[in-house]
Structure 1
Amino acid sequence: MSDKTHYFLAVQLPENIKNDLNHSKSHFQEYLSFQRWVHQADYHITLAFLGFATQNQLKEVEKLVSNQIREEKDFLLEISHLGTFGMKTSPRIFWAGLNKSTELDTLRDKVFYACEQAGFELEKRPFHPHITLARKWSSEESFHSSLLEKSNLFLENPLSFQATNVVLYKTNLLQTPKYENLITFSLQS
Structure 2
Amino acid sequence: MKQPHFFIALSIPQSTKELLFYQCEKIKGTIPFQRWVHKEDYHITLAFLGSVPEEKVKACMENLEERLVNYSSFQLFLSGLGIFGVNTSPRILWYKNAYEEKLMKLQIIVKKVCLEAGFILDDKPFKPHITLARKYSGETPLSDELWNEADHSVNKTSYFNASQITLYRTHLDRTPKYETVFSIKLQH
TM-score (norm 2): 0.94
Deviation for aligned residue 1:147: 3.0
* Residue of structure 2 equivalent to 1:142: 141
* Residue of structure 2 equivalent to 1:170: 169
Distance in 1 separating the partners of 2:88 and 2:127: 21
* Residue of structure 1 equivalent to 2:34: 35
* Residue of structure 1 equivalent to 2:67: 68
1:118-150 Cα deviation digits (max 9, x unpaired):
111100111110000000011121123443332
Distance in 2 separating the partners of 1:167 and 1:85: 24
**Other structure's SS at 2:169 match:** strand
Pairing of 1:9-158 with structure 2 (within 5 A): 9-152=8-151, 153-154=153-154, 157-158=156-157
**Other structure's SS at 1:31 match:** coil
Deviation for aligned residue 1:43: 0.3
RMSD, aligned CA: 1.4
Distance in 1 separating the partners of 2:146 and 2:100: 26
1:102-121 Cα deviation digits (max 9, x unpaired):
00001111011111111111
1:26-65 Cα deviation digits (max 9, x unpaired):
2111211101000000000000000011133113211221
Runs of 5+ unmatched residues, structure 1: none
Equivalent residues, number: 187
Distance in 2 separating the partners of 1:165 and 1:106: 15
Distance in 2 separating the partners of 1:97 and 1:50: 22
Percent identity of the aligned residues?
A: 38
Question: Structure 1 counterpart of 2:78, which letter?
Answer: I
More displaced, 77-86 or 61-70?
A: 61-70
Deviation for aligned residue 1:68: 2.0
**Other structure's SS at 2:27 match:** helix
**In the superposition, relative to structure 1, how do residues 107 and 146 fare at CA in structure 2: closer, same or farther (>3 Å)?**
farther
1:2-27 Cα deviation digits (max 9, x unpaired):
23x21000010010000011111121
